[in-house]
């Protein structure tokens, strides 16, 4: 029997190399973090971006330990997932900073019109 047919998942046959675990998941989470950065004050995108970044980093580290065992396409997916997660995290950070700046401005404007004692007495 031919050795390539006997062991189809071995590194001898590069056509049937397995995918990295969580490579596609990190790509999906990275894309979702970019899409969902505006949802719930950026918290949904932030959570998805962090999870996608961790999963993608682990997959890339696993590929770098033994590159002949896993397919290069799954390495590219994991790397793209890391990049998308970083972009999503930056967008979420910008949204969070803008929300904090907005509410700080609102409180400062309200504080200039009303003394703080009147603000708390009316609650």
pLDDT in tens, 1-20: 444 445 455 555 556 889 99
| pLDDT bucket at 121, cuts 50 / 70 / 90 | low
CA 67 to chain centre: 23
The answer to whether residue 94 scores a pLDDT higher than 90 is: yes
**Mean predicted confidence (pLDDT) in 25-32:** 96
Residue 108 vs residue 48, higher pLDDT: 48
**For position 1, what pLDDT does the model report?**
42
Using CA atoms, how far residue 14 sits from 76, 85, 103, in Å, is 16, 29, 56
Residue-wise burial string across 65-90, b where 16 or more C-beta atoms lie within 10 A, e elsewhere: eeeeebbeebbebbbbbbebbbbbbe
The average pLDDT across 45-56 equals 95
State residue 34 phi and psi, 5-degree precision: -70, -40
Distance of alpha carbon 31 from alpha carbon 25, whole angstroms: 10
At residue 73, the pLDDT reads 92
């Amino acid at each position: 029997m031919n050795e390539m047919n006997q062991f189809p998942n071995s590194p001898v046959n590069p056509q049937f190399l397995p995918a990295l675990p969580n490579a596609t998941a990190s790509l999906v989470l990275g894309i979702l973090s970019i899409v969902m950065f505006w949802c719930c004050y950026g918290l949904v995108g932030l959570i998805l971006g962090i999870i996608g970044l961790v999963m993608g980093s682990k997959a890339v580290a696993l590929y770098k330990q033994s590159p002949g065992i896993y397919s290069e396409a799954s390495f590219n997916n994991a790397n793209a997932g890391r990049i998308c997660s970083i972009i999503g995290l930056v967008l979420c950070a910008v949204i969070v900073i803008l929300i904090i700046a907005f509410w700080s401005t609102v409180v400062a404007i309200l504080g200039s019109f009303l003394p703080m004692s009147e603000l708390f007495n009316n609650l």
